[in-house]
Amino acid sequence: MQRIIAVYILLLAGMLSMTGQTPEERYTRAGELYGSGDYSGAAAIYRQLYDEGYRSEDILFNAGNAFFKSGDNASAIVFYERAKLLAPADEDIDYNLQIARSRITDRFETVPQLFFVKWFDFLSLLASTNVWAVAALAMFVAALILVLIFLTKSRARGRLLSFWLFLAALVLSVFMILLAIRNNSLVNNSNRAVITCSIVTGRSAPGETGNELFVLHSGTTVTIEQELGSFLEVRLPDGNKGWIRSDCMEKI
Amino acid sequence: MTVMKSILTAMICLLVTLTGMTQEIVLTVDAPEAAATGERFRIIYTVNSTDGQFTPPKFDQSFSVQGPQQSTSRNVQWINGDIQTVSSTTLIYYVVASVQGTYTIPPAQFTTKKITVSSPERQIVITDGPQSQVPAARQPQSQGQAAGTGDTPSSGSEVSMRLLLTDREVYAGEPITVTLKLYTRINLSGIQELKYPDFKGFLREDIETPPLRSLESEVIDGVQYGTGIVQRFVLYPQIPGEIRIDPVEMTVLVQERSRVHDPFFDDPFFDNFFSSVSTVPRKITTRPVTIRVKPLPEPRPTDFHGAVGSFTLESDLSSSEAQLNDAITLKVTLRGSGNLNLAGEPVINFPQGIEKYDPKVTMRSSGTSSGSKVFEYLLIPRNNGTFEIPPVSYTVFDPDQGKYVTLRTEGFTVNVTGAGSSEEGIAPVYIPGEEVKYLGQDIRYIRNGSGRLALTAAPLIAKLQYWLWFVLALFVTAVVILLRREQMKRNADIAGLRNRKAAKNARRRLAKANALLKSGRNELVNAEIARSLWGYLGDKLRLPPSEITREKCYTALREKKTDEELIAELDRILTATEYSQYAPVSEGESPAALCKRSTALISRLDNVLN
């Protein structure tokens, strides 16, 4: 009985030591571990913070570095990709992601994105979903106020100006809503995933019976098309599709 | 010619016979007292005469006898007019005994025309000799022995040539010193031609050998040979495997006695005189040799530059204090025996800021493959400061140990001082800009700092409340617009009503004024008339009561294009009503007339304003 209590106390102490610290303290601790060379320890703390819902480009970038240094290239790519969604213009993230990607086994002829899609995505990632949403709402209210101004103006010049301003505000508002939706779909409902198994077979049907179509290695980024049970239909960077076990990938 | 020769021979014959008469002939024998089985020994007979018949003794059956090798010498002396001739004949038998025991060599006999002399009897003890002497493969005369049994005595038995190698099993690159040696038992007058094979798989380097002028005497197995080193050279095997060296061919000039067969002097006695010596070229070859070349073990160290042998390494820096742009030299000396000429230069990573030139290589070889090789690096410091010249590491393969040996020297420190070259008038040295060297690639370091931790907020656009804000904003705006529109409508209605009912109200007031007039309350009539006129004007001109003044009304009426006459009438009536309010009755117009005029004025104004 005493032993059980002792074990319980030990467990409790262990939990306290893990959760008793503030997130900031744990973040700093992870940085120290990284500096001293304990990369997997640092990676574990970063991942825990991520799982608890803490988000910032710094956490994600550091987590990617820790995973990269501890040898888990696939997780490193996942976290770099996540960091890139929060800071699309960050040069360090791009650089590290490029190094991590250079160690991937699979090579693809990637179909380049259309330039305006790329620009639109980049623009949508410059601010968070909620910033875009609030801005869109503010712009909408501004448009409505301009309507009222338009109605009270009796002179032709004032009416024309207020009309065009109203139109611009309305278009901007709609555009910002679109950006917010795009940002949300990229950041929060990403359909992209990174293969984490060292090797996995893509089949023509969900299940273990489908014909084998291709073999993927860890670190390759795929796009999820649909889900059926524990299988996901993914699209490869070169456009091919196949079914892969869902436990072999991590969503970005 | 033949006649002359005959006469000459006859004269010499006569002379010899005359002198020989006076001399006693002695036959001596020289033989060892003991010999071992298989050992070749010599039995030499000497007689102090040249003209006679030598009868060899009967050697034992177990002796194998070779020979005789015959030589004669003749010495003619004139002493005090007295001619004295000393001549001798030597016969050498080469004997090998195969069975041990004590043997007696019977006397040999020498018979001249007058006398027969005998040699003394000799006893030889043959003991059990060492067996190593028997296999004759290494011996140079084994060839000659086989050939010596032939009819012709000059069939190549006496001259042979051998390649003497220091080693027959070597590592690739390990030098082999080869000596080409000549063995002869006969007189040679010279070497006509020496032809080497192509030594496929080897690199050949000749060692300076003095030209063969005289032969050295060497006794091999009791046989005397004239030997001489024809050429020495070093072979460096280049490829591993069993490599065969093809025979070396040499043509020697042999002095050979050729017999002239004369039908008249066909007598053994004349043989010695009628034979002459001629030079005959004879081709001799060495036997092919096979050398086993072992490959160098893999993997080869990175600083192995092909040197095989046993070496030492030294390095020496000319000065540890250097002036800017003044040359210093680093000498690296590789000393020892091995394939020095194939040893590549060591790789030294000189520090940046010191300009390096390709090394000057000098080789000093002491005859054979041993010597030293000096790599001399010219260094010019181009920057001030202290520079470390790293230790030189040089790996050689030591065939004796069968492994790679790394030789190291000490590093040096150079202190470079001095001002720029401009003061000394030396042309400025162009130092090209250097590109930054990238050593490796790694991810960038983690971010330090607060980390800007924040819990994720749920996206607003996924919530209904957010979209309801839009609806609310729209609704509020719509309500505002509607209310405003209602208000405007209402305002517009009130004004219109007043406008439309203005004349009616005014007439009603005037009617009231008439009623007051009839009841006799005249003081109130004028006020009622003024009120009716002001009310009419306010309603028609849409002016609030507070803003009604005469000037504003007139201005508004003028804007509506009312006649000046009407405005004047209005002014008169208004003045009259005001005046009457402060003045007593019956001054000016009567109220009844004012009332009539007001009614007419409103009718006319109504026509204009409607």
The predicted-structure confidence for A191-224, as pLDDT tens digits, reads as follows 889 998 888 888 888 888 888 888 888 888 899 9
Interface probe for B, chosen from A68, A92, A139, A178 (most Cβ of B below 10 Å), is A92
Identify the H or E element spanning B206: strand B202-207
Contacts of A19 (CB under 8 A, 6+ apart): none
Model confidence at B422, pLDDT cuts 50, 70, 90, reads very low
Top mean pLDDT of A142-146, B438-442, B604-608 is at: A142-146
- Residue B466 sits at the chain A interface (C-beta within 8 Å): yes
Question: What is the DSSP track for B446-491?
Answer: PPPS-----BPPPPGGGSHHHHHHHHHHHHHHHHHHHHHHHHHHHH
pLDDT of residue B9: 60
Asked whether the predicted pLDDT for residue B154 surpasses 60, the reply is no
Interface test with A, best of B460, B465, B475 (most A CBs within 10 A): B460
pLDDT band at A5 (very low <50, low <70, confident <90, very high): low
CA distance B563 to B549: 19
Predicted local distance difference test score (pLDDT) of residue B443: 83
CB distance A69–B453 less than 8 Å?
A: no
DSSP-assigned beta bridge partners for residue B422: none
**Confidence bin at A142 (pLDDT 50/70/90):** very high
Q: In this predicted structure, what is the pLDDT of residue B583? A: 65
| Distance between A81 CA and the closest CA of chain B, angstroms | 15
Q: Is A140 on the interface with B (CB under 8 A)?
A: yes
User: Which of B7-21, B47-61, B314-328 bottoms out in mean pLDDT, i.e. has the lowest?
Assistant: B7-21
Q: What pLDDT sits at residue B258? A: 59
Residues 6+ apart with CB under 8 A from B534: B545, B548
Per-residue pLDDT averaged across A14-36, rounded? 76
Alpha carbon of B444: minimum distance to chain A alpha carbons (Å): 6
Q: What is the mean pLDDT of residues B119-145?
A: 53
Residue B461 with chain A: CB contacts under 8 Å: 129, 133, 177, 180-181, 184
Residue range A73-102: average pLDDT? 90
CB within 8 Å: B484 and A99: no
Of B446, B455, B480, the CB nearest to A34: B446
pLDDT at A214: 87
**CB-based contact, B545 to chain A, within 8 Å:** no
Average pLDDT on A41-70 reads 89
- State the burial class of residue A218 (Cβ atoms within 10 Å of its Cβ: 0-12, 13-18, 19+): buried
Lowest mean pLDDT among A8-22, A164-178, B592-606: A8-22
- Res. B163: pLDDT tops 60: yes
The 10s digit of each residue's pLDDT in B256-265 is 665 555 555 5
Dihedral over Cα of B428, B433, B439, B443: its sign: positive
Between A95-104, A238-247, B273-282, the lowest mean confidence (pLDDT) is in B273-282
Mean pLDDT on B211-216: 76
Instruction: Of A157-161, B300-304, B503-507, give the range with the top mean pLDDT.
Output: A157-161
| pLDDT at A141 > cutoff 70 | yes
Contacts of B478 (CB under 8 A, 6+ apart): none
SS3 label, residue B325: coil
Whole-angstrom Cα distance, residue B507 to residue B515? 12
Among the partner-chain residues A49, A56, A184, the one whose CB lies closest to the CB of B452 is A56
pLDDT at res. A167: 94
> What local confidence, expressed as pLDDT, does residue B212 receive?
76
Split at pLDDT 50, 70, 90, the class of A16 is very low
| Neighboring chain A residues of B452 at a CB cutoff of 8 Å | 56-58
Query: How close does chain B come to A198, measured CA to CA in Å?
Result: 22
Categorize the per-residue pLDDT at B15 as very low, low, confident or very high, splitting at 50, 70 and 90: low
CB B389 within 8 A of CB B412: yes
Chain B residue with the nearest C-alpha to that of A173: B470
Mean pLDDT of B287-302: 83
CB B329 within 8 A of CB B425: no
**Sorting pLDDT into bands at 50, 70 and 90, what band is B12?**
low
Chain B residues near residue A141 by CB distance under 8 angstroms: 473
In this prediction, residue A171 carries a pLDDT of: 95
* Per-domain boundaries in chain B: 2-133, 141-292, 303-417, 494-609
Per-residue pLDDT reduced to its tens digit, B80-118: 777 777 778 888 888 887 777 888 888 888 888 778 888
Mean pLDDT value across residues A139-149: 92
Mean pLDDT confidence for A55-72: 89
Shortest Cα–Cα distance, A206 to chain B (Å):
31
B481/A34 touch (CB, cutoff 8 Å), yes or no: no
Is B469's pLDDT higher than 80?
Answer: yes
The rounded mean pLDDT for chain B is 76
Q: For the residues A14-37, what does the mean pLDDT come to?
A: 77
pLDDT, one tens digit per residue, over B343-370 is: 888 888 887 778 888 888 888 876 666 7
All residues of chain A having their beta carbon less than 8 Å from the beta carbon of residue B467 are none
Q: Is the pLDDT of residue B552 over 50?
A: yes
Q: Give the model's pLDDT for residue B10.
A: 57
Distance from CA of A205 to the nearest CA of B (A): 33
* Single-letter code of the amino acid located at B256: E
What stretch of H or E contains A177?
helix A156-187
Other C-beta atoms lying within 10 Å of the C-beta of residue A42: 26
The dihedral through the CA atoms of B303, B307, B310, B316 has a sign that is negative
Asked if B489 is an interface residue toward chain A (Cβ–Cβ < 8 A), one would say no
Answer yes or no: is pLDDT of B210 > 60.
yes
Inter-chain residue contact A54 with B452, CB threshold 8 Å: no
- Predicted confidence at residue B497, as pLDDT, reads 79
B392 vs B493: which has the higher pLDDT: B392
Tell me the torsion sign for CA atoms B587, B589, B592, B595.
negative
**H or E element, residue A232:** strand A231-235
Cis peptide before B135 (omega within 30 of 0): no
Q: Does A130 sit within 8 Å of B457, measured CB to CB?
A: yes
Backbone angles phi, psi at B442, to 5 degrees: -150, 165
Contact B369, B338 (CB under 8 A): yes
Interface test with A, best of B438, B446, B468, B475 (most A CBs within 10 A): B446
**Positive or negative: CA dihedral A25, A27, A32, A33:** positive
Is A24 in the B-facing interface, judged by CB distances under 8 Å? Answer: yes
In CATH, what is the architecture of B303-417? Answer: Sandwich (2.60)
Residue B144: its pLDDT value, please? Answer: 35
Largest CA distance in chain A: 90
B445, B448, B461 ranked by CB distance to A133: nearest: B461
Mean pLDDT of the region A218-243 = 88
The two three-digit tokens of residue B96, written as one number? 């090998």
User: Which chain A residues in 107-126 lie under 8 Å from chain B, judged by CB atoms?
Assistant: none
Inter-chain touch A69–B443, beta carbons under 8 Å: yes
**Size of chain B in residues:** 610
Same fold, B303-417 and B494-609: no
The predicted pLDDT at position B435 comes to 65
Please say if the pLDDT value at position B310 is more than 90: no
Q: Mind telling me how many Å the CA of B553 is from chain A's nearest CA?
A: 26
Residue A169 confidence (pLDDT): 94
Note the pLDDT of residue A168.
Answer: 95
Whole-angstrom distance, CA of residue A250 vs CA of residue A194? 5
Query: What average pLDDT does this structure show over B151-159?
Result: 45
In a 3-state reduction of DSSP, which class is residue B541? coil
Contact B473 A61 (CB under 8 A): no
Q: How confident is the model at residue B548 (pLDDT cuts 50, 70, 90)?
A: confident
B133 pLDDT band, cuts 50/70/90, is very low
DSSP string covering A68-131, please? HHTT-HHHHHHHHHHHHHH-TT-HHHHHHHHHHHTT-S----PPPPPHHHHHHHHHHHTS-HHH
Distance CA(B72)–CA(B87), nearest Å, equals 7
Nearest CA in chain A to B441: A99
B429 pLDDT tier (thresholds 50, 70, 90): low
Nearest residue on chain A to B474, alpha-carbon basis:
A144
Q: How far apart are CA B591 and CA B158, in angstroms?
A: 190
Query: What was the pLDDT predicted at B129?
Result: 57
Cα gap B82→B101, rounded to integer Å: 51
* Residue B176, token pair as written in the block: 């082999």
% of chain B with per-residue pLDDT over 90: 3
Least confident of A30-34, A35-39, B298-302, B395-399: B298-302
Burial category of B469 from C-beta neighbours within 10 Å (exposed 0-12, middle 13-18, buried 19 and up): middle
CA atoms of B406 and B398, how far apart (whole Å) = 10
Residues of A in contact with B449 (CB under 8 A): 58
CB-based burial label for B8 (10 Å; 0-12, 13-18, 19+): exposed
DSSP codes, B45-107? EEES-SSSEEE-----TTEEEEEEEEEEEEEEEEETTEEEEEEEEEEEEEEEE-S-EEEEEPP
Across the range B373-400, mean pLDDT stands at: 84
According to CATH, what is the number of the domain B494-609? 1.20.120
Question: Which class is domain B2-133?
Answer: mainly beta
Query: Please, what is the average pLDDT of chain A?
Result: 86
Query: Which range, of B104-108, B268-272, B486-490, averages the lowest pLDDT?
Result: B268-272
Kindly indicate the confidence band of residue B430, based on its pLDDT and cuts at 50, 70 and 90. Answer: low
* Mean pLDDT value across residues B516-541: 80
Chain B hits for A65, CB-CB cut-off 8 Å, are 443-446
Task: Verify whether the Cβ–Cβ distance A23 to B444 is below 8 Å.
Answer: no
Task: Name residues whose C-beta falls within 8 Å of residue A42's C-beta, 6 or more positions apart in sequence.
Answer: A30, A31, A33, A34, A62, A66
CB contact under 8 A, A61 and B462: no
Which residue among A49, A140, A147 places its CB closest to the CB of B470? A140
List of chain B residues whose C-beta atoms are within 8 Å of the C-beta of residue A151 = 481, 484
Pick the range with the lowest mean pLDDT from A143-152, B188-197, B242-251, B395-404.
B188-197
Contact A133 B480 (CB under 8 A): no
Cis upstream peptide for B545 (omega within 30°): no
Please tell me whether residue B516 adopts helix, strand or coil conformation.
helix
**Residue B381: what pLDDT?**
82
- Which pair of tokens denotes residue B191? 């070497």
Rounded CA gap, B386 and B389, in Å? 10
Is A223 an 8 Å CB contact of chain B?
no
pLDDT recorded at residue B368: 64
pLDDT at B355: 81
* Closest Cα in chain A to B450: A24
B441 interfacial to chain A (CB closer than 8 Å): yes
Angular region, B367: left φ>0, alpha ψ -120 to 50, beta rest: left
Beta carbons within 10 angstroms of residue B125's beta carbon: 14
- Ramachandran angles phi, psi of B202, nearest 5°: -125, 155
Q: CB-based contact (8 Å) between B464 and chain A?
A: no
pLDDT of amino acid B476:
93
- Determine the pLDDT at residue B81: 72
Residue of A nearest to B485 (CA): A151
Where does the pLDDT of residue B574 fall: very low under 50, low under 70, confident under 90, or very high at 90 and above? Answer: confident
B475 touching chain A per CB within 8 A: no
| Backbone φ, ψ for residue B580 (5° rounding) | -65, -25
Q: At B25, list the tokens.
A: 């002939």
Residue pair A63/A46 in contact (Cβ under 8 Å)? The answer is yes
Helices B464-519 and A129-152, packing angle to 10 deg:
20
Average pLDDT value for residue range B432-460:
75
- For A147, which residue in chain B has the nearest alpha carbon? B477
User: Which has more pLDDT, B267 or A77?
Assistant: A77
Q: Is B595 exposed, middle or buried (CB count within 10 Å of its CB: 0-12, 13-18, 19+)?
A: buried
% of residues, chain B, pLDDT over 70: 82
Query: Which of A27, A69, A100 shows the shortest C-beta gap to B453?
Result: A27
More confident residue, B319 or A172: A172
Q: How far is the CA of A149 from the CAs of A139, B245, B539, in angstroms?
A: 15, 113, 31
